[in-house]
Amino acid sequence: MDKSEIIERLEAIAVLLELQGENPFKIRAYAQGARALEALEIPLDVLIAEDRLATVRGIGSALADKITALHESGELPLFDQLKAKVAPGLLEMLEIPGLGAKKVRILNKDLGIDSIAALQSAAESGSISNLKGFGVKSEAKILQGIRNREAYSARHLRWNVIPVVENILSGLRSLEAVQQAEAAGSFRRGLETVGDLDFIVASKDPEVVMDWFVKQSHVSEITARGQTKSSVRLEDGLQADLRVVPASQYAFALHHFTGSKEHNVALRKRALQRGLSLSEWGFDVRGGNSQPLPSNIDNESALFDALGLANIPPELREGYDELKLAEAGSLPKLIKCSDIKGAFHNHTNASDGHENLEDMAEGAAARGWEYIGIADHSKSSRQANGLNEERLLRQVDAIAAYNQRDDACCHIFSGCECDILPDGSLDLADSTLEKLDYVIIAVHSAFTQPREQMTRRILRAMEHPFVTMLAHPTGRLLLKREPYEVDMEAIIEKALAKNIAIEINANPKRLDMDWRWWLKAAKRGLKTSINPDAHRVEQLGYIAAGVLTARKGGLTANSVLNTQSLTEIISWLEQRES
């Protein structure tokens, strides 16, 4: 098995153990082990070959043995035994809000329920409400959960919820009772998809704020309403949580509600090691320690400082190695939107874009950019009206002519998004590619090739001397199409060796290469280009989504080609040619 399959296996084991009523800390050990694998910076094969797996934090000798077994044979008796004992339907039942492992176990043991269908008929017949721990309300909630299972469990593209967030946020901020308000959670961390919306407010009058929140017109249901916290379901099934705290505790609450969970747990553990208990309400002494509590914590930076850490930007709070970096003072200085000076991967109506060269150039200039690269599709992408050699050379001439014009508002670079054919050769002749300022290569066909073949194919294409950057290296469409199978570690190696950039495709549905890979690749010096892949002028705005992904990946402006000025880009491109 490869690493990602082993990670899935360990996560599955954690859930299965939970359904067996196992020790929660053992369950967490499996989940932590999966995360530790995810964060590995040394290839798994190497660690196994050198017998160093158990030296990884979060992986002990027991997990090391199991991971090794999975890696070598894919077989693990523990998993097979668990699979045999736990009905697959129980996993689906966990998706129903209000049903956790304990309740699912009771339903299974006492009523023999082992599927959503059985759960539904039991609830409809009223037999669940007689069980201990259940009642009429929980029975009704189960039925509602089944009816809306898809809507309730769906994640949403961050980009699509921005208007909803801004709307709620401005509503909150317009209330007199609200002193401060922020969108927190995965949204604030810039995650590509969000499971819900999380809002945090500082106020002296929580009642007023929560009243407003739960009475918004697009609220379909109030799922919780307490002293400091409310949850609602919005019309499309998206959940929104609100937490209201006094201004004096806002920094703690904002940090808590921003997460991630794993980051919070790590930070709280660090506090404990220093004799402090940390919660969303503040610090408390732990055990017999009687040192004075840190005071005047009125922003997140002060909170981190009290724990001996540099201020960690929300995008980096995913519970990987950000605490270590913050302690050492070696957090990266993350790229900002204002660092962007242009963009390379954009289309015109020559292929499947909707606007012409001049429009795109004007759009770039309107953003204050110095240049724009046009990279239309190549001929084998027929569905996208890809350009053959002749049409592309005409575009090269048109761009040259545009750049000569006195009224040119922005420099245009001639490029193309050249298909990587199924055998790894490029779609356009060298004699044509040679005439371009730069060449982007991308897979647009034969997505289902086996991993080895896909990897060989892309590596072969990257050997081509004219290649400047690799576009959307996994082809994923968030929430829609899985990434195709490819060995990203090998691709990253090759890109480093050949001085090829890997793009961050900034289309909010792609955000590919993923920030999780960038966390590792950034440290190794791999360059990126944040590419809007705009098919119309308006979509140049996707750049913001790409910058967020770059920030999550720990990238500085230096690692991003399109933070360079026009003159720097020109000399860099010339240099590459020689």
Partner DNA sequence: GCCGTTTTCGGCCCGACTGTTTTCAGTCG
The correct pick among 261, 324, 451, 523 for binding ligand DGT (CB under 6 A) is 261
352 binds, among ligand DGT, Mg ion, Zn ion, none (CB under 5 to 8 A by kind): Zn ion
Nearest-CA neighbor of 372 among 406, 336, 399? 399
Binding mask 274-303 for DNA (x = CB under 7 A): ---xxxxx--x-xx----------------
What one-letter code names the amino acid at 260?
A: S
Q: Which stretch binds ligand DGT (CB under 6 A): 223-231, 257-265, 500-508, 555-563?
A: 257-265
- Using CB under 5 A, which of 33, 185, 282, 313 touches Mg ion? 185
> Cβ-closest residue to ligand DGT?
259
Interaction of residue 196 with Zn ion, rule CB under 5 A:
no
Beta strands in 409-500 (DSSP E): 411-419, 440-442, 469-470
Residue written as token pair 């576009």: 471
DSSP assignment string, 53-68: GGGSTT--HHHHHHHH
Q: Which of 108, 264, 348, 507 binds DNA (CB under 7 A)?
A: 264
Instruction: Residue 566: count other Cβ atoms within 10 Å of its Cβ.
Output: 15
Residue among 108, 230, 231, 264 that touches ligand DGT (CB under 6 A) = 264
Q: Which CB, 92 or 241, lies closer to DNA?
A: 241
CA–CA separation, 314 vs 90, rounded Å? 35
Sheet holding 196-203, edge to edge: 178-183, 196-203, 239-245, 229-234, 219-225
Residue 365 near residue 410, CB atoms below 8 Å:
yes
Cα–Cα distances in Å, from 356 out to 266, 352, 362, 383, 398?
51, 11, 10, 19, 11
Say if CB 438 and CB 415 are below 8 A apart.
yes
Q: Which one of ligand DGT, Zn ion, Mg ion, none is in contact with 264 (Cβ closer than 5 to 8 A by kind)? A: ligand DGT
Question: Among ligand DGT, Zn ion, Mg ion, none, what binds residue 257 when CB lies within 5 to 8 Å by partner kind?
Answer: ligand DGT
DSSP 8-state secondary structure symbol assigned to residue 345? -
- The amino acid sitting at 411 is H
Residue corresponding to tokens 């590919």: 512
Strands 342-343 and 371-377: parallel
- Quick check: 352 binds Zn ion (CB under 5 A)? yes
Encoded one letter per residue, x for contact with DNA by CB under 7 A and - for no contact, window 97-136 reads xxxxxxxx------------------------x--xxxxx
Give the shortest CB-155-to-ligand DGT separation in angstroms. 7
User: Residue 561: CB partners within 8 Å, gap ≥ 6?
Assistant: 344, 469, 501, 527, 528, 529, 569, 572
Strands 239-245 and 229-234: antiparallel
Q: Which stretch binds ligand DGT (CB under 6 A): 139-147, 252-260, 349-357, 432-440?
A: 252-260
Q: How far is the CB of 301 from ligand DGT (least distance, A)?
A: 19
Which of Zn ion, DNA, Mg ion, none sits in contact with 416, Cβ below 5 to 8 A by type? none
Which residues in 380-439 contact ligand DGT (CB under 6 A)?
none
194 binds, among ligand DGT, DNA, Zn ion, none (CB under 5 to 8 A by kind): ligand DGT
From the list DNA, Zn ion, ligand DGT, none, partner contacted by residue 260 (C-beta under 5 to 8 A by kind): ligand DGT
268 binds, among Mg ion, Zn ion, DNA, none (CB under 5 to 8 A by kind): DNA
Q: To which residue do tokens 């204002």 refer?
A: 338
Q: Is 262 in the site for Mg ion (CB under 5 A)?
A: no
User: Minimum CB separation from Mg ion for residue 197, in Å?
Assistant: 7
Q: Which is nearer to ligand DGT, 319 or 483 (CB)?
A: 319
Nearer to ligand DGT among residue 58 and residue 195 (C-beta)? 195
Could you give the CA distance from residue 360 to residue 540 in angstroms, rounded to a whole number? 9
Contact between 93 and 116 under an 8 Å Cβ cutoff? The reply is yes
Exposed/middle/buried for residue 376 (C-beta within 10 Å: 0-12, 13-18, 19+): buried
Shortest distance (Å) from residue 432 CB to DNA: 53
Q: Out of 138, 144, 301, 403, which residue is the one contacting DNA (CB under 7 A)?
A: 138
Cβ partners under 8 Å of residue 45, min gap 6: 71
Residue 463: what are its φ and ψ, rounded to 5°?
-70, -20
Cα separation, 54 vs 62, whole angstroms: 8
Q: Tell me the C-alpha distance between 368 and 356, whole Å.
A: 19
If the CB atoms of residues 28 and 354 are measured against Zn ion, the closer one turns out to be: 354
By C-beta, is 64 or 244 nearer to ligand DGT? 244
To DNA, the closest distance from the beta carbon of 424 in angstroms equals 40
Which listed residue (74, 126, 226, 308) binds DNA by CB under 7 A?
A: 226
User: Is residue 198 classed as helix, strand or coil in its secondary structure?
Assistant: strand
* Near ligand DGT by CB under 6 A: residue from 86, 194, 469, 511: 194
- In the complex with DNA, which residue's Cβ is closer, 133 or 465? 133
| Min dist. Cβ of residue 181 to Mg ion (A) | 16
Three-state SS at 268: helix
Per DSSP, the three-state class of 133 is coil
**Could you say whether residue 198 binds ligand DGT (CB under 6 A)?**
yes
**37 vs 376: CA distance, rounded Å:** 38
Stretch that binds Mg ion, among 5-13, 18-26, 179-187, 268-276 (CB under 5 A): 179-187
- CA–CA dist 327, 311 (Å, integer): 10
* Residues 432-461 contacting Zn ion, CB under 5 A: none
Determine, following the binding rule CB under 7 A, whether residue 231 of this chain makes contact with DNA. yes
Binding status of residue 536 toward Zn ion by CB under 5 A:
no
> Phi/psi zone of residue 524: left (φ > 0), alpha (ψ -120 to 50 degrees), beta?
alpha
H or E segment at 505? strand 501-505
Binding partner of residue 424 among ligand DGT, Mg ion, Zn ion, none, CB cut-off 5 to 8 Å per kind = none
Considering beta carbons, is residue 68 or 349 the nearer one to DNA?
Answer: 68
CB of 92 to DNA, least distance (A): 13
Binding footprint of ligand DGT on the chain (CB under 6 A)? 185-186, 191, 194-196, 198, 256-261, 264-265
Binding footprint of DNA on the chain (CB under 7 A)? 23, 25-26, 28-30, 32-33, 54, 56-64, 96-104, 129, 132-139, 141, 185, 196, 198, 224-231, 239, 241, 257, 261, 264-265, 268-269, 271-273, 277-281, 284, 286-287
Binding footprint of Mg ion on the chain (CB under 5 A)? 185-186, 196, 198, 241
